[in-house]
Amino acid sequence: MSDSAVLSSVDLSGDGGIVKHVLREGDGDTPSSGQEVEVHYVGTLESDGSKFDSSRDRDEVFKFVLGRGDVIKAWDTAVATMRRGELVRVVATAPYAYGEKGSPPKIPGGATLVFEIEMLDFHDKPKEFWQMSVEEKRAFATAR
């Protein structure tokens, strides 16, 4: 996790359940629901600082579709406020993370989590083949 100074902080949930600390400002617009976002992250337990996951350690960008519920609520909420290049520390209490059940064995029930998230990019997600109209399927096949 970064030791960067916090530039600003905001309570995104209104109840202290999701707090975003900006470590580096980003540029441009924020992503829209339904867009695919690409981030790097490191996740730790607030209680002892132990790391439970990291896209950086895997050297693999993490991609997901925003607003679809593919990730914990804290992520859908916080990432929707981020701009390209922005680096944040997000503190998420259990109701906005994995709840009272946790995600054993690495995340105990009721855990508050801390994520350092860097927004790399976002874009409209291309349609899946089954979502395309007949005309779009023809164009897709012709382009190959």
Q: Active-site residue numbers?
A: 41, 52-53, 72, 98, 115
Closest CA to 72 of 106, 47, 95: 95
For residues 120 and 106, give the distance between their C-alpha atoms in angstroms, rounded to a whole number.
26
> Which residues make Cβ contacts (< 8 Å) with residue 94, sequence separation at least 6?
100, 102, 109, 110, 111, 112
Cis ω for the linkage preceding 105 (within 30 of 0)? yes
